[in-house]
Amino acid sequence: MGCLPHRAGTRLVTKALSPASAPIGEERGTMVSGYSVTARGLEEGGAMSEAVADIAAWVPPSWDAVVRQHSARVYRLAYRLSGNRQDAEDLTQETFVRVFRSLANYQPGTFEGWLHRITTNLFLDLVRRRQRIRFDALPEDTERMPGSAPSPEQVYADAYLDPQIQAALDALPPDFRVAVVLCDIEGLTYEEIAATLGIKLGTVRSRIHRGRVQLRDALAHLAPNQARDTA
């Protein structure tokens, strides 16, 4: 994959975004104060006029603050979707490039949903580009022969991922994979996924159902006793 834009000669996303520094078990981060202004005002019983005033006074957070708070979450999503460290790092970097370009124009709302949408759309764009390209080179696996010492990606996968589950996810069609990851790993509701991907709720349900069926089939060998019990 080609290099993505740099600023001032350095990568926008630094080594801190390596797999070892982004544990999958980390709890969902709380949203930065001000991102969900309207909901906060209404939940606290404030009048609508107060919520509108909050929005008018809202000041976008700094780009550095956004990266610090959300980089680990974006990386984890990118890794789940792409299945490898290099693509995850590139997707994470490009996501924050997009955020940097658009942050000044961002309107208060669900900030995490905005990041989910950018990351998933970039992943789907990547898949579409690769589907249009045919290489006569060696398979990708030959370029990633493991060394004697485990790579950071291997350490991360061993600690937090079942390799067979990740392989089964990687085998899903991209649209199914995105829906399953957003629902079953990121914890989004069907409605949130529909809004993130810009598709109908019925399409979300269908993709999740079909993706789960394919995952169960791919992982059936991990639960042979269950298969015999249901026979």
Is the pTM value of this prediction over 0.85?
no
Residue 23 token pair: 């544990």
pLDDT of residue 42: 32
Q: Are residues 27 and 116 in the same domain?
A: yes
CATH code, domain with 219: 1.10.10.10
The values of phi and psi at residue 173, to 5°, are -55, 145
Domain that includes residue 202, residue range = 161-231
* Residue where the block lists tokens 């789960």: 212
The set of residues, in sequence order, having a beta carbon less than 8 Å from that of 31 and lying 6+ positions away, is 110, 111, 112
Span 123-164, pLDDT tens digits: 998 888 877 654 434 344 434 334 444 455 554 544 355 788
Name the domain count of the chain: 2
The values of phi and psi at residue 105, to 5°, are -100, 0
Q: Are residues 59 and 108 in the same domain?
A: yes
Q: Is the pLDDT of residue 93 over 60?
A: yes
Span 7-38, pLDDT tens digits: 444 444 444 444 434 433 333 333 333 333 23
Q: Are residues 116 and 196 in the same domain?
A: no
Q: Is the pLDDT of residue 45 over 60?
A: no
Q: Are residues 101 and 169 in the same domain?
A: no
Last residue of a domain, one of 115, 132, 149: 132
* Residue where the block lists tokens 């700094």: 62
